[in-house]
Amino acid sequence: MTNAKLWGLKKSPWVFHVAAASCNNCDIEILDVITPRWDVERFGIVLVGSPRHADALLVTGVLNRKSLPRVIHVYEQTPKPCLVIAVGSCTCDNHIFRPSYNAVGPYDKHIPVDVYIPGCPPKPEAIISGVVKALKRL
Amino acid sequence: MSILRIIVAYLVFPGFLFTSVVGLFLTWIDRKVTARIHWRVGPPWYQPYADFLKLLLKETIVPEGASKVLFLLGPVLGVVAMTILAVMLFSMNFNPQVTFVGDLIVIIYLLALPPIGIIIGGSASKNPLASVGASREMTQYFAYELPFLIVITSIIIKAGGTIRIGEIISAQAAQGPFLYSFSGAIAGVVMLLTMQAKLGYVPFDAPEAEQEIMAGPFIEYSGVSLALFKLTRAMMLFVLPLFTISLLWGGFADWWAVLKFLVIVVLVILIKNTNPRLRIDQSLRFFWIGTGILSIIGLVLTFYGL
């Protein structure tokens, strides 16, 4: 039972993209990953429109006081088990926004993060390799 | 003995298990052809099965304030209807004598159940986008049902006024498939377009437009209930071409029928991949004015025996 569950989850991780106030660079790189050049549908990865359908949340952007409750809300709406993949340096350590009064810290202070993909923005190859690492950790 | 055979027929061979396995395989063909059109590699063959298995084993969430019974009933309706439909069509194709009077009418009603399930589920899920999707689904249902029924009327006239699918199939065995005539070709085109809309594929996917209303009626579904909706779609991809072949293209008379079946499926996929989405009012106008007039011309031609 658990083996089947693990196999299904590894072979078809559906991804919901949570753009929590990012500068759009990471978002554009994420969209690059699903273009024909990188084609992650080979691995069964599909972008879905609703967190209810998702198995993994790709979070981007620096977390601030406005976006924090929304991100937590989306995380709670997602059916478990779900992975959280933090894309971009902002999600890992606030990056250049560290001294800002409005940055409420990296994501792992608030929700469990499975894998970090640093880079400003990370290359599509880096994002794919991060997702593969997250799937291997399962 | 016969009860056991009926149970096996519904649950295993032409029924639930067989239809869902073949239907999921057809959705893989859909995704693979789509990928090749995009110049991509596309998913491996086991992808739809992995998706289905994963969805079955995930958590199912019922939204707060939603009607629990209706929300969970919605996905089941479509699967049940498609199972019954598959059993009926299969037994009629291989043994045209087993049918009963009026089975065509029963099939038309069974084909209406999946959209009704979507409407019930979408309206019960207490989400504004789902309500928008459900209302569009309802509009679209009324849109494509008009040309569909006119085409079915012309097929009934061609078959000499019978409403038994078995007799329609035997009439085609006697006088050649209905598709090879003017009115039959028109009926085929209209049937293909309504099939596209029944499947919710791209020119007519306003009810579940991913980019604007986030999968519409399915937005609150997760886990098993979402899996059942996906399964309904997959089974429809199997049952609707079978229905078209039975009515227009001579039924499963020989093994060429498998090729005809694949031709219809690939045509549907090609239409899906080469067209932009229509707005809901545009698709209503398309079906009631454009396709409706075309199907009425087909009906008139049928009266003159063309």
Q: Are B166 and B101 in contact (CB under 8 A)?
A: no
Render each residue's pLDDT in chain B as its tens digit; 306 residues.
Answer: 588 877 877 777 777 888 889 899 999 999 899 899 888 888 888 889 988 888 888 888 888 887 888 888 888 988 888 888 888 888 887 777 777 777 888 888 988 889 998 899 888 888 888 888 889 889 989 899 999 999 999 888 888 888 888 888 888 878 878 778 888 888 889 999 999 898 888 888 877 877 777 777 888 888 888 899 889 989 998 889 988 888 888 777 678 888 888 899 989 999 988 888 888 888 899 999 889 899 999 889 888 877
Strand order in the sheet with A115-117: A46-47, A14-19, A56-60, A83-87, A115-117
Distance from the B268 Cα atom to the nearest Cα atom in chain A, whole angstroms = 21
Query: How much is the pTM?
Result: 0.87
A39 conformational bin, left if phi > 0, alpha if psi -120 to 50, beta if neither: left
Does B215 contact A49 at a Cβ distance shorter than 8 Å? yes
Does B215 contact A36 at a Cβ distance shorter than 8 Å? no
Higher pLDDT, A9 or B115: B115
State ipTM.
0.84
Q: Are A104 and A98 in contact (CB under 8 A)?
A: no
| Triad B208, B237, B21: Cα angle to 5° | 115
DSSP code for A40: G
- Would you call B161 helix, strand, or coil by DSSP? coil
Task: Name the residue in chain A with its Cα closest to that of B31.
Answer: A41
Q: How many CB pairs below 8 A link A and B? A: 82
Least Cα distance to A87 among A109, A64, A107 occurs for A107
Query: In chain A, which among 36-55 make CB contacts under 8 A with chain B?
Result: 36, 39, 41-44, 48-50, 52-53, 55
Give how many domains chain B has, as a whole number.
1
Distance from the A11 Cα atom to the nearest Cα atom in chain B, whole angstroms = 6
Q: Which range of residues forms the domain containing residue B50?
A: 2-303
Does A42 contact B50 at a Cβ distance shorter than 8 Å? no
Name which CATH class applies to A24-137. Answer: alpha beta
Query: In chain A, which among 81-100 make CB contacts under 8 A with chain B?
Result: 81
Tell whether A29 lies on the interface with B, counting CB pairs under 8 A. no
* pLDDT for residue B28: 92
Whether residue B147 is preceded by a cis peptide bond, meaning omega within 30 degrees of 0, is no
Query: Domain boundaries in chain A?
Result: 24-137
Does B226 contact A8 at a Cβ distance shorter than 8 Å? no
Tell whether A31 lies on the interface with B, counting CB pairs under 8 A. no
